[in-house]
Chain A
Amino acid sequence: MKNILIVEDDKVISDELKNLLDNAGYNGIILKDFDNSLEEVKKINPDLILLDINIPKLNGELVLQKIRKESNVPIIMVTSKNSEADEVLSMSYGADDYITKPYNPTILLLRINAIFKRMENKNDVLTYNNLVVDPKKGIIKNEKKELILTKNEMIIFTFLLFNRGNIVTRDDLMTDLWNNNEYINDNALNVNISRLRTKLTDFGYEDAIETRKGQGYILK
Chain B
Amino acid sequence: MKLSKYLRNNFLIILLFIVITAITNLMLVSFKTDIQAILGIDITVIIGFILYIIYDFNRRKKFYNKFLNDLDLLDKKYLITEMIEKPNFYEGEILYDALYDIDKSMSEKIKEYSLSIADFKEYIELWIHEVKLPLASMNLIIHNHKELSDKKIIEQLKRIDDDVEQVLYYVRSENAEKDYLIKETELDRAISNVAMRNKDILLENNIDFEVEVGNKKVLTDSKWLEFIVNQIVSNSIKYIRDGVEHLIRITAEENSKSIFLKIYDNGIGIEKSDIPKVFDKTFTGNNGRKIETSTGMGLYIAKQLCKKLGHKITIDSKENEYTEVSIIFNKNDFLNVAK
Partner-B contacts on A (CB < 8 A): 10, 12-13, 16-17, 19-20, 23, 54, 80-85, 87-88, 100-107, 169, 171, 174-175, 178-179, 181, 183, 185-186
Cβ–Cβ < 8 Å partners of B157 in chain A: 102
> Are A80 and B136 closer than 8 Å at their CB atoms?
yes
> Are A20 and B144 closer than 8 Å at their CB atoms?
yes
> Are B140 and A20 closer than 8 Å at their CB atoms?
yes
Other 16 A-B pairs with CB < 8 A, given A101-B133, A175-B196: A10-B133, A13-B136, A20-B144, A80-B128, A80-B129, A80-B133, A82-B168, A85-B179, A88-B181, A101-B136, A102-B138, A102-B161, A178-B192, A178-B196, A179-B192, A179-B196
Q: Mark B213-244, 1 if CB is under 8 A from A, else 0.
A: 00000000111100000000000000000000
Cβ–Cβ < 8 Å partners of B97 in chain A: none
Partner of A84, one of B136, B200, B221: B221
Partner of A102, one of B132, B183, B211: B132
Cα distance, A87 to B200, chains bound together (Å): 26
Query: What are some 26 contacts across the A-B interface (CB < 8 A)?
Result: A10-B137, A12-B134, A13-B136, A13-B137, A16-B141, A17-B140, A19-B144, A20-B140, A23-B144, A81-B129, A82-B165, A83-B223, A84-B221, A85-B179, A85-B181, A101-B133, A101-B136, A105-B139, A171-B200, A174-B199, A178-B192, A178-B195, A181-B211, A183-B195, A185-B203, A185-B208
**Which residue of B is nearest A107, CB measured?**
B196
- Secondary structure at the B interface, as helix, strand, loop or mixed, is helix
Q: How many A-B residue pairs have CB under 8 A?
A: 95
> Are A16 and B179 closer than 8 Å at their CB atoms?
no
> Are B188 and A13 closer than 8 Å at their CB atoms?
no
- Minimum CB–CB distance from B240 to chain A (whole Å) comes to 14
**Which residue of A is nearest B128, CB measured?**
A80
**Which residue of A is nearest B191, CB measured?**
A181
Cβ–Cβ < 8 Å partners of B183 in chain A: 84, 88
> Are A84 and B210 closer than 8 Å at their CB atoms?
no
Partner of B179, one of A20, A83, A104: A83
Tally of chain B residues near chain A (CB < 8 A): 41
Cβ–Cβ < 8 Å partners of B211 in chain A: 181, 183
Cα distance, A19 to B157, chains bound together (Å): 20
- Minimum CB–CB distance from A78 to chain B (whole Å) comes to 9
Cβ–Cβ < 8 Å partners of A106 in chain B: 143
- Does B206 have its Cβ within 8 Å of any Cβ on chain A? yes
Partner-A contacts on B (CB < 8 A): 128-130, 132-141, 143-144, 146, 157, 161, 165, 168, 179-181, 183, 188, 192, 195-196, 199-200, 202-203, 206, 208-211, 221-224
Cβ–Cβ < 8 Å partners of B128 in chain A: 80
Known contacts being A82-B168, A102-B157, is A178 close to B136, with CB within 8 Å? no
- Minimum CB–CB distance from A160 to chain B (whole Å) comes to 18
Cα distance, A59 to B215, chains bound together (Å): 36
> Are A103 and B136 closer than 8 Å at their CB atoms?
yes
> Are B143 and A102 closer than 8 Å at their CB atoms?
no
Cα distance, A49 to B230, chains bound together (Å): 30
> Are B129 and A102 closer than 8 Å at their CB atoms?
no
> Are A103 and B208 closer than 8 Å at their CB atoms?
no
> Are B188 and A105 closer than 8 Å at their CB atoms?
no
Cα distance, A13 to B143, chains bound together (Å): 12
Cβ–Cβ < 8 Å partners of B224 in chain A: 84
Cα distance, A122 to B183, chains bound together (Å): 32
Cβ–Cβ < 8 Å partners of A88 in chain B: 181, 183
Cα distance, A70 to B133, chains bound together (Å): 30
Residue with the highest number of chain A CB atoms closer than 10 Å, among B140, B144, B210:
B140
**Which residue of A is nearest B130, CB measured?**
A80
Partner of A80, one of B132, B200, B222: B132
Partner of B180, one of A80, A84, A178, A181: A84
**Which residue of B is nearest A215, CB measured?**
B146
Cα distance, A87 to B140, chains bound together (Å): 22
